[in-house]
Amino acid sequence: MQRFVWGRYWSVVKKEIIQIKRDRPSLGIALVMPLMLLFLFGYAVNTDVNDIKMVVWNQSPSAVSRELVDQFVNTHVFQVTTVVNGYQAIEAMLDEGSADVALVIGPDYTRLRDRSEPVHVQMLIDGSDPNIARTATSHAQLIVQNQAITLQEEKRQKQGMGELKPPLGLEARVLFNPNMESIVFNIPGLIGLIMQNVTMILTAFSLVREKERGTMEQLIVTPIRPLELMLGKITPYVGVGLFSFCLVLLVGTYWFGVPVKGSISLLVTLSILFLVTTLLLGIFISTIARTQLQAMQMAFALILPSVLLSGFMFPRDSMPVVIQWFGGLVPLTYFLEILRGIFLKGAGFEALWRDVVGMGVFCLFILTVAILRFRKKIE
Partner 1 sequence: MSVAIHCEQLTKRFGDRVAVNNLTLTVPKGSIYGFLGPNGSGKSTTIRMLCGLLTPTTGKGTVLGFDVMTQSEEIKQRIGYMSQKFSLYEDLTVEENLDFYAGVYQLNVAERKQRKKELIEMASLMGREKQLAGSLSGGWKQRLALSCALLHKPELLILDEPTAGVDPVSRRIFWEVIHQLADEGITVLVTTHYMDEAQTCDWIGFIFFGDLLAEGTPQELIDQRGGGNLEDVFIDLVKREEARQRGEGA
By the criterion CB under 8 A, which residues form the site for partner 1? 2, 5, 7-8, 10-12, 14-15, 18-19, 22-23, 213-224, 376-379
Nearest-approach distance from CB 352 to partner 1, in angstroms: 39
Assign 78 to helix, strand or coil: strand
Q: How far apart are CA 221 and CA 229, in angstroms?
A: 13
Helices (H), 251-376: 264-288, 292-309, 321-327, 331-340, 349-373
- Whichever of 12 and 330 has its CB closer to partner 1, that residue is 12
The Cα–Cα gap between 11 and 147 comes to 75
Region at 170 (left for phi over 0; alpha for psi -120 to 50; beta for the rest): beta
In the complex with partner 1, which residue's Cβ is closer, 8 or 316?
8
**222 Cβ neighbours under 8 A, 6+ residues apart:** none
The nearer residue to partner 1, 1 or 170, going by C-beta atoms, is 1
Q: What is the dihedral of CA 187, 193, 194, 200, to 10 degrees?
A: 160
Q: How far is the CB of 292 from partner 1 (least distance, A)?
A: 15
3-state secondary structure of 165: coil
Tell me how far, at minimum, the Cβ of 206 lies from partner 1, in Å: 12
- Cβ closer to partner 1: 115 or 377? 377
Q: To the nearest whole angstrom, how small is the minimum distance from the Cβ of residue 196 to partner 1?
A: 27
**Identity of the residue, 15 or 111, whose beta carbon is nearer to partner 1 in the bound complex:** 15
Cα angle value 338/295/200 (rounded, 5°): 20
For residue 232, the minimal CB distance to partner 1 (Å) is 10
